[in-house]
Structure 1
Amino acid sequence: MRIDVITLFPEMFSVVSELGVTGRAHQKGIWSLKTWNPRDFTEDVHHTVDDRPYGGGPGMVMLAEPLVKTLRAIKAEHQTLGIHHPVCLMSPIGEVFTQLKAQQLSQSTGFILLCGRYEGIDQRFIDRYVDVQISLGDFVLSGGEIAALAILDSMVRLLPGVLNTHDSALQDSFHPSQAGLLDSPHYTRPEVFEGESVPEVLLSGHHKNIARWRREQSLKLSLQYRPDLIEKAKQGNLLSADDLKMLSFLNKSSEMPPST
Structure 2
Amino acid sequence: MREMIRPFRSLFSPLVLLALWQMIAASDLVPKKFFPGLPEIAHGAAQMLLSGELIQGEALTLGRAIIGLVLASVIGVVLAILSNVSPFFDRGFRVVASFLQPIPPAAVVPMAIFMLGLGVELYVFIIVLVAVWSPYLNGVTALNAVPREQILTARMLNLSPLAILFRVKFPSAMPQIFAGIRYAAAVSLIGVIVSEMLAGRDGIGFLLIRKSFSIRIPETFALMFVTMLNGMLLAMLVNLARRILTGWHVKQMRERA
TM-score w.r.t. structure 2 length?
0.22
If each structure's helix is expressed as a fraction of its own residues, which one has the higher value?
A: 2
TM-score w.r.t. structure 1 length?
0.22
Higher relative contact order (CA 8 A, sep 6+): 2
